[in-house]
Amino acid sequence: MALICDHGEQRKDTKPGALHTLKATPETVHWGYFHPNIKPALYVKSGDLIQAEAITHHAGDAPELMMDEGVKAIWMGVKPEDRAPGVHIMTGPIHVEGAEPGDMLEVRYFKMVPRCNYGSNLAANWGHLYQEFGEKERVTIYELDPNANTAAALYAYDFEGKYLIPGTITHCPDCDKETALQGVRIPARPHLGTAGVAPAVDERVSTIPPGAHGGNIDNWRIGAGSTMYYPVQVKGGLFSIGDPHVSQGDGEISGTAIEASLDVFFQIIVRKDFKFPTPLLETDEHWIVHGFDEDLNKAMKNTAKDMLELLTDHQDLSANDAYSLMSVAADFGITQVVDGTQGIHAKIDRGIFPNKGSVKDPDS
Amino acid sequence: MALICDHGEQRKDTKPGALHTLKATPETVHWGYFHPNIKPALYVKSGDLIQAEAITHHAGDAPELMMDEGVKAIWMGVKPEDRAPGVHIMTGPIHVEGAEPGDMLEVRYFKMVPRCNYGSNLAANWGHLYQEFGEKERVTIYELDPNANTAAALYAYDFEGKYLIPGTITHCPDCDKETALQGVRIPARPHLGTAGVAPAVDERVSTIPPGAHGGNIDNWRIGAGSTMYYPVQVKGGLFSIGDPHVSQGDGEISGTAIEASLDVFFQIIVRKDFKFPTPLLETDEHWIVHGFDEDLNKAMKNTAKDMLELLTDHQDLSANDAYSLMSVAADFGITQVVDGTQGIHAKIDRGIFPNKGSVKDPDS
């Protein structure tokens, strides 16, 4: 596995430290916001392992399938008026010893396992084709097949009214359950829609728009086996996870993914030897940078500049070489168009570099 | 192989008809434009096979490597003032017997073989980061390794002035050849940047902006093994190919791909049983729709609407089901941002449908 470093040096792997468990409870979640003053739910050291629960704010779409006692306790324990200004249930924050503004927080996601085998997709009032669908909201409930790693629609129903209160509990036991997408099987891509560090702002920051702190990036590649690098904004980092998804396409066009609670196992590492201005994703095959803006045209430009920076600062290419390489080998995609601040990502294959995106360990 | 049909019927395969050869010569190319009144370079019947030459308009970037006698003859035979208003050398048009407006022209690309093992990437004045690079143009020449199916930079040079005349011949034998991208090997993805039917407009239509007729779509997936469906605009279709590329990333960010002449082998079929409003791409794994606009935000909306139409009209899904499926399983990407009219494409995996994107042949 490559470990990005300044000056092309190979960093030694960080051995696992202590193992922590972080349950999602009314006391360990913050619903709808990031804030640097939230009391940490967990204190860890760099290298520690964390087994944590990420709870979907759409569990109320099919409470009989998606809510257990732990989930219900959060709905009961967090008042609707305290679920603001965003919508996502965030577990944390996790205070990481030694993390300072200017560092990077490296999060290695090892496992993401559905808490139950059901998820919900909402055609939402913030969806890309809401007007074209006559301003109707509709819920489709999916069932997961953990053996085949696929999802299939179980039933669907129109939602009367508008999803305005995060964590709305619907009552489809009383409504018509319609069959949907018969025979279609969707590949499961369990991932975190929202995760990130606390922004350095002394007020609640909505979980909805993504940004330099991470947040609601909604890139389905942020799953098990991938590593995210988040720029630390405040002391301790104060990292939180939420908005778990089972499947999502690039675009997240209806407004949500298949939203489903996940148990997430990860390692968290403070990096002082490496900087990047925006959340950076490493997978086995790719480096992926993220650009944001309310205007896709500007998000595109931001993403292009970040890919240029990745290639010049971390692959030691000249700017001229990097620009040519980007044109012939970097793929730009639409991450999502439904979070107000829209997202574009660009990926480049690590295998094209002579050192596969890293270099030989100088001490080995 | 799936064959898209109305009402989910499986169409029988079209057996190869006659084999035609279409050389690129000053008499068989039109440089920079589509026009319904160009005299056809070839007349074929539906099902016929064509072995044709697609010539890069960037052969002048390294004439000692990228020009042979046939290419030189085109540069000598087509006056610079007749290379307008676009830039691409188009071979054709091919008149297909029986093709009428409202039909689809199905083009099955079987082979795309480089004519020589060199290509050129230009950081162009229309590139996405032209301002950020101090309004400098730069050429990088790549060498192809046909055995490994990769490309590697051979040398690079700054271009003094501006690439304003299509087919500019540079004189880098007299300039400094700088080393570039040492050790980096780029996967080759030979494809046609520009191909399409004649628009129903009684004037020269620039080859630069893509549109319903096809044209400069710049999707690197339009390569060997893929099938394109173009909406026929005029009698006979009048199909032309050009702008061959060896490698390009989604975005084509510097303004060009690795531009290199290709020999292209394909079959052309008139389809009267199936309609789609924009160029549609079928690969072994995916259906891919294309949306266009000068504004990426609008291109995104156009692409989403076309994906919805594909799923409802050609997979018999309800609009509600299609919208949910798009959100959780369709990936939207940036095709290119450098052709004036920008492009977004959306792909959906054919394997998720119970019939793999087609249905059983009712006669089998």
Residues B194 and B211 in one domain: yes
Q: Chain A contacts of B133, Cβ < 8 Å?
A: 319-320, 323
pLDDT digits (tens, 9 = 90+) for B233-275: 999 999 999 999 999 999 999 999 999 999 999 999 999 998 9
**B329–A333 C-beta distance less than 8 A:** no
A356 pLDDT band, cuts 50/70/90, is low
- In this structure, the strands spanning A29-31 and A227-231 are unpaired
Mapped onto helix, strand or coil, the DSSP state of residue A47 is coil
Last residue of a domain, one of B277, B300, B327: B277
A363 pLDDT band, cuts 50/70/90, is very low
Residues A105 and A135 in one domain: no
DSSP structural state of residue A358: S
Q: Chain A contacts of B305, Cβ < 8 Å?
A: 129, 132
How many Å apart are CA B8 and CA B15, to the nearest integer?
Answer: 21
Q: Chain B contacts of A334, Cβ < 8 Å?
A: 300, 332-334, 344
Q: What's the number of domains chain B is made of?
A: 2
Q: Which two tokens stand for residue A242?
A: 């939420």
**B251–A326 C-beta distance less than 8 A:** yes
Task: Give the model's pLDDT for residue B7.
Answer: 53
B350/chain A closest Cα distance in angstroms: 10
Residues B292 and B328 in one domain: yes
Residues B119 and B209 in one domain: yes
Look over chain B and give the mean of its residue pLDDT values, rounded to a whole number: 94
Token match 């079209």: residue? B14
B184 phi-psi bin (left φ>0, alpha ψ -120 to 50, beta other): beta
Residue in A closest to B307 by C-alpha: A253
A240/chain B closest Cα distance in angstroms: 24
Q: Which two tokens stand for residue A295?
A: 């205007």
**B308–A251 C-beta distance less than 8 A:** no
Mean pLDDT of A302-325: 96
How many Å apart are CA B200 and CA B34, to the nearest integer?
Answer: 10
**A153–B324 C-beta distance less than 8 A:** yes
**Pick from A258, A332, A337: CB nearest B250:** A332
A258/chain B closest Cα distance in angstroms: 6
Look over chain A and give the mean of its residue pLDDT values, rounded to a whole number: 94
Task: Give the model's pLDDT for residue A14.
Answer: 82
B195 pLDDT band, cuts 50/70/90, is very high
Most B CBs within 10 A among A157, A327, A337, A348, hence the mutation to make, goes to A327
Kindly state whether residue A61 falls inside one of the protein's structural domains: yes
Angstrom distances, CA of residue A328 to CA of A251, A325, B187, B332, B342: 23, 5, 9, 19, 17
Residues A170 and A316 in one domain: no
Kindly state whether residue A276 falls inside one of the protein's structural domains: no
pLDDT digits (tens, 9 = 90+) for A4-31: 655 555 667 788 999 999 999 999 999 9
**Pick from B321, B327, B334: CB nearest A334:** B334
**B321–A254 C-beta distance less than 8 A:** no
Last residue of a domain, one of A187, A204, A229: A187
Residues B313 and B254 in one domain: no
Share of chain B above pLDDT 70, in %: 94
Kindly state whether residue B8 falls inside one of the protein's structural domains: no
B253/chain A closest Cα distance in angstroms: 5
On the question of pLDDT at B355 being above 80, the answer is: no
Kindly state whether residue B303 falls inside one of the protein's structural domains: yes
Residues A244 and A328 in one domain: no
The residue count of chain A comes to 364
Q: Write the CATH number for B288.
A: 3.10.28.20
Residues A112 and A69 in one domain: yes
Mean pLDDT of A312-332: 96
Token match 């006979």: residue? B236
Share of chain A above pLDDT 70, in %: 94
**Pick from B250, B295, B328: CB nearest A257:** B328
B331/chain A closest Cα distance in angstroms: 4
Q: Which two tokens stand for residue B276?
A: 């789609």
Q: Chain A contacts of B332, Cβ < 8 Å?
A: 249-251, 253, 333-334, 337
Residues B105 and B213 in one domain: yes
Residues A144 and A101 in one domain: no
Residue A178's DSSP bridge partners are A156
pLDDT digits (tens, 9 = 90+) for A43-98: 999 999 999 999 999 999 999 999 999 999 999 999 999 999 999 999 999 999 99
**Pick from B250, B325, B349: CB nearest A181:** B325
B47/chain A closest Cα distance in angstroms: 33
**Pick from B121, B328, B329: CB nearest A327:** B121
How many Å apart are CA B364 and CA B160, to the nearest integer?
Answer: 63
B272/chain A closest Cα distance in angstroms: 28
Kindly state whether residue B63 falls inside one of the protein's structural domains: yes
Kindly state whether residue B10 falls inside one of the protein's structural domains: no
Residues A32 and A181 in one domain: no
Kindly state whether residue B357 falls inside one of the protein's structural domains: no
Mapped onto helix, strand or coil, the DSSP state of residue A31 is strand
Structural domain range at position B347: 280-352
Q: Chain B contacts of A354, Cβ < 8 Å?
A: 182-184
Last residue of a domain, one of A169, A187, A205: A187
Residue in A closest to B221 by C-alpha: A331
On the question of pLDDT at B317 being above 90, the answer is: yes
Mapped onto helix, strand or coil, the DSSP state of residue A329 is helix
Task: Give the model's pLDDT for residue A4.
Answer: 65
**Pick from B250, B319, B328: CB nearest A248:** B328
How many Å apart are CA A97 and CA A270, to the nearest integer?
Answer: 8
How many Å apart are CA B244 and CA B258, to the nearest integer?
Answer: 9
Task: Give the model's pLDDT for residue A2.
Answer: 47
Q: Write the CATH number for A102.
A: 2.60.120.580
**Pick from A121, A186, A251: CB nearest B332:** A251
pLDDT digits (tens, 9 = 90+) for B123-147: 999 999 999 999 999 999 999 999 9
B266/chain A closest Cα distance in angstroms: 25
Helices A319-329 and A296-314: angle between axes, nearest 10 degrees:
120
Residue A111's DSSP bridge partners are A265
Kindly state whether residue B101 falls inside one of the protein's structural domains: yes
**B352–A251 C-beta distance less than 8 A:** no
B2 pLDDT band, cuts 50/70/90, is very low
**Pick from A127, A253, A329: CB nearest B249:** A329
Alpha helices (H) in chain B, listed in sequence order: 63-66, 69-77, 296-314, 319-329
Residues B219 and B336 in one domain: no
